[in-house]
């Protein structure tokens, strides 16, 4: 199957990690590189306990300083990739339960970027995401596998306000980088925080997404906050 590293940023996620970290261990990566982002709970203890149960090779990188919200996650992934032991890196998140079949696709990342479908946990938005994932569009997600060679050649993740998966999508278009969107059944277990949807709308406007497309998405997902954020931009979006 080939060796790969998992990069996992963690803040205060002890409740979710009890359900999600074992799904990482079951992929049997050669290394799990945990970027501990100032946790004040038992996240590190839980990771060590579950990791020991599966015999996982854990590496911890502890972060003490916080960056602005929108580029902080980008920085955490950069730090993790830069010290990972393996050429192939799977970027995932503490609130995601990974589909076991993810592993079978990882060797493909030697030649292309892989985005793995991640479904909102149950409800109307699950149906919407399933439907959109079948449309012939460039689709990105926050669960990504890539090679360090492609990461370095195209500077795929930068310390800017655009989320890292959006950055990669833009660079795919610009440089015609090979990619695949794989319809796995990973699940995001975090409930929606509706005030963050305003930032989603703001970001869509910043990325040049059309107003009709944004309105349609807002209606389909029953998330009016996205359209409000798109219309009002800076005026509606607070800081994290």
Residue 75 has pLDDT above 80, yes or no: yes
Is residue 160 domain-shared with residue 179, that is, in the same domain? Answer: yes
pLDDT class for 59, splitting at 50, 70, 90?
Answer: very high
Tell me the whole-structure pTM to 2 decimals: 0.87
% of the chain surpassing 70 pLDDT? 95
Task: Kindly state whether residue 9 falls inside one of the protein's structural domains.
Answer: yes
Structure-token pair, residue 67: 């960056």
Same domain, 23 and 97: yes
Are 79 and 181 within one domain? yes
Please tell me whether residues 177 and 215 are part of one structural domain: no
Q: In terms of domains, do 182 and 125 share one? A: yes
State both tokens at 183: 């319809």
Q: Does residue 145 belong to any structural domain of this protein?
A: yes
In a domain, 240, yes or no: no
- Model confidence over 127-177: pLDDT tens digits? 888 888 888 777 899 999 999 999 999 999 998 888 899 999 999 999 999
Q: Specify whether 187 is located in the same domain as 197.
A: no
CA dist., res. 129 & res. 127, Å (int): 6
Domain match, 163 and 217 both: no
Helices (H) and strands (E) in the chain, counts: 10, 8
Angstrom distances, CA of residue 137 to CA of 164, 169, 185, 233: 19, 11, 19, 25
- CATH of residue 177: 3.90.550.10
- Answer for the pair 86, 31: CB distance below 8 angstroms, yes or no: yes
Q: Residue 199: inside a domain, yes or no?
A: yes
Q: How confident is the model at residue 70 (pLDDT cuts 50, 70, 90)?
A: low
Distance of alpha carbon 123 from alpha carbon 136, whole angstroms: 24
Identify the three-state secondary structure at position 236.
Answer: coil
Please check the confidence at residue 233 and state whether its pLDDT lies above 80: no
- pLDDT tens for 85-96 read 999 999 999 999
The residue range of the domain holding 200 is 193-235
């Amino acid at each position: 199957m080939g060796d790969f590293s998992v990069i996992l940023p963690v803040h205060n996620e002890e409740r979710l990690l009890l359900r999600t970290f074992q799904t990482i261990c079951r992929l049997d990566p050669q290394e799990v590189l945990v970027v501990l982002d100032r946790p004040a709970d038992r996240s590190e203890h839980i990771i060590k306990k579950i990791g020991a149960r599966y015999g996982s090779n854990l590496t911890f990188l502890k972060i003490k300083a916080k960056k602005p919200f929108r580029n902080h996650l980008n920085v955490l992934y950069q730090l993790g990739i830069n010290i990972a032991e393996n050429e192939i890196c799977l970027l995932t998140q503490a609130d995601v339960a990974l589909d076991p079949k993810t592993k079978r696709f990882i060797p493909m990342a030697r030649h292309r970027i892989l985005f793995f479908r991640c479904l909102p946990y149950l409800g109307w938005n699950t149906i919407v995401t399933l439907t959109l994932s079948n449309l012939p569009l460039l689709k990105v997600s926050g669960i990504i596998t890539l090679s360090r060679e492609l990461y370095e050649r195209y500077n795929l993740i930068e310390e800017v306000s655009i989320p890292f998966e959006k950055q990669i999508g833009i660079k795919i278009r610009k440089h015609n980088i090979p990619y695949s969107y794989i319809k796995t059944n990973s699940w995001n277990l975090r409930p929606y925080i509706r005030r963050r949807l305003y930032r989603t709308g703001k970001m869509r406007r910043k990325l040049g997404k059309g107003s009709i497309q944004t309105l349609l998405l807002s209606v389909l997902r029953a998330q009016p906050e996205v359209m409000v954020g798109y219309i009002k931009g800076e005026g509606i979006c607070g800081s994290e």
